[in-house]
């Protein structure tokens, strides 16, 4: 079984392009499935199931979503194997942009929304920097010139990845995506494998449910903002 990790900011069009790309593979007789990781709520499983794609949903609730992903992806992988899937796609929103669900040896995909602005590639961090394939959505409604500038900005952050313009509504580009997913690495063992980018090392009182503000409530590893001293006259 192949595992493809798809990450991208909320509402960037991940689900739409996954449904379209997997549709091409299904029509060729491949068994495909999805596991959707989200924080508090997700209705995407119904979208996948309506398209005839078996889907699991994992809600991280009070846990750091990326820790939750890492501690659960093995079980999801095993589920995919039991379903006899040829390809399992894991979809997760990059919630604070600090982390990335990409795993060494498995195809890593980042979905970015062209409308989010030209600085977006810099802001999304490791889920873009460590990706093998970058899918840029919503490019059909912006000028060709802006698409080219956006692609350049993506290359400045990740010169190695392939970049494709796709449209989750019309399906433009989804066939090309399905070709690349069909060639994804096969049967890379997950247990003992490594994330491409480490999740945060810090644990502080707020990670454990503290809500009160103030120095006396701050325990564990704390990082303080550096504010330059004002010039005194």
Partner 1 sequence: MNSHEPALDVELDEARSAHFFRMNHLPSRGAHRSLRAWWEAQPWEYRTDGGWDYERLRDGLLSFLAATKGSADRAPLRMLEIRRGRDKSGQPEKFDLVLRPGEVVCLVGPTGAGKSRLLADIECLAQGDTPTGRVVLIDGERPQPETRFTGDGQIVAQITQNMNFVMDLTVAEFLKLHAESRAIASPDSAVRSVLEAAVSMAGEPFGPSTPLTQLSGGQSRALMIADAAFLSPKPVILIDEIENAGVDRTRALEFFVDQGKIVLLSTHDPLLALSGVRRLVIRHGAVQEVIEPSATEKALRQRLAGIDRQLSALRERLRSGERLDSDPATTPAL
**Residues near partner 1, by CB under 8 A:** 98, 115, 117-118, 122, 125, 129, 136, 140-146, 148-149, 151-153, 155-160, 162-165, 172, 175-176, 179-180, 202, 223
Cα separations in angstroms, 70 against 76, 135, 195, 223: 11, 23, 8, 24
Query: What is the three-class DSSP state of 37?
Result: strand
In sequence order, the 6+-apart residues with CB closer than 8 A to the CB of 152 are none
| Nearer Cβ to partner 1 (148/210) | 148
| Nearer Cβ to partner 1 (140/190) | 140
Minimum gap (Å) between residue 135 Cβ and partner 1:
10
Q: Which residue has the tokens 């070709």?
A: 179
Minimum gap (Å) between residue 59 Cβ and partner 1:
27
| Nearer Cβ to partner 1 (71/152) | 152
| Nearer Cβ to partner 1 (76/100) | 100
Could you give the CA distance from residue 53 to residue 88 in angstroms, rounded to a whole number? 10
Minimum gap (Å) between residue 83 Cβ and partner 1:
28
Angle at 57 between CA 56 and CA 61, to 5 degrees: 155
């Amino acid at each position: 079984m192949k595992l493809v990790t798809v990450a991208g900011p909320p509402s960037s069009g991940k689900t739409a392009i996954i449904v379209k790309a997997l549709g091409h593979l299904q029509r060729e007789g491949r068994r495909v499935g999805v596991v959707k990781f989200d924080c508090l709520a997700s209705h995407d499983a119904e979208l996948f199931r309506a398209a005839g794609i078996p889907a699991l949903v994992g809600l991280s609730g009070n846990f750091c979503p990326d820790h939750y992903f890492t501690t659960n992806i093995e079980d999801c992988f095993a589920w995919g194997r039991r379903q006899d899937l040829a390809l399992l796609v894991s979809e997760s929103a990059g919630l604070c942009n600090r982390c990335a669900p990409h795993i060494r040896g498995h195809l890593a995909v980042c979905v970015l929304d062209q409308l989010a602005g030209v600085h977006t590639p810099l802001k999304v961090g490791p889920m873009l920097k460590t990706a093998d394939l970058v899918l840029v959505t919503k490019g059909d409604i912006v000028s060709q010139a802006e698409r080219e500038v956006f692609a350049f900005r993506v290359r400045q952050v990740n010169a190695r990845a392939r970049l494709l313009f796709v449209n989750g509504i019309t399906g433009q580009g989804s066939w090309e995506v399905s070709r690349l997913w069909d060639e994804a690495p096969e049967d890379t063992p997950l247990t003992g494998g490594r994330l491409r980018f480490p999740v945060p090392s810090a644990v502080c009182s707020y990670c454990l449910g503290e809500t009160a503000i103030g120095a006396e409530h701050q325990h564990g590893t704390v990082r303080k903002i550096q504010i330059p001293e004002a010039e005194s006259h």
